[in-house]
Structure 1
Amino acid sequence: MRRAHRRPCSWFAAFFLLSTFFRPAGAWFGQLRRRLGTLLKDVAYPRDDVVELKPRLDRAEETDRSIAALPRRGPALT
């Protein structure tokens, strides 16, 4: 009879030990989910410096094309 009495305690102890794993795992998954959400938001909506850099790059490319289109002259010091 004693053996039958010990079994529920061992099941309870096993359940308790298993439940100590779920709380940190849940917190870790929650943190992972928040971090991925932040990264996905940054991908969908670029940061302000990237938005500002795009028109500057377009102007630099346009200037480069206009300089390349200028007629070539001979060497400056002949």
Structure 2
Amino acid sequence: MNGKTLDEVPESIRMYYLCKATKFSALPWAGGLYDQDPQLIDEWGYIIQVEAETEKRKAEADKRRASSGSRSRRR
């Protein structure tokens, strides 16, 4: 967590990763998705976007590495 203690991490991030660890089988508040705090859901949406962009960049870098490795073996 970049040197931050758990107390310094925003609650929405802590809650997201706790829920993600349980594969979202439990949400912070009783009920379904629409029973959750709208701001929390908005913040989770942002986290999900950032994770997706990071994964996409990682996959592209892996593909480039694999491609450049196969080119060097052909020479």
Indicate the TM-score class for this superposition, using the shorter chain for normalisation: 0.3 to 0.5
Larger RCO, structures 1/2 (Cα 8 Å, 6+ apart): 2
TM-score normalized with structure 2 length: 0.45
Which structure carries more helix by proportion? 1
TM-score normalized with structure 1 length: 0.44
Q: Which has the larger Rg?
A: 1
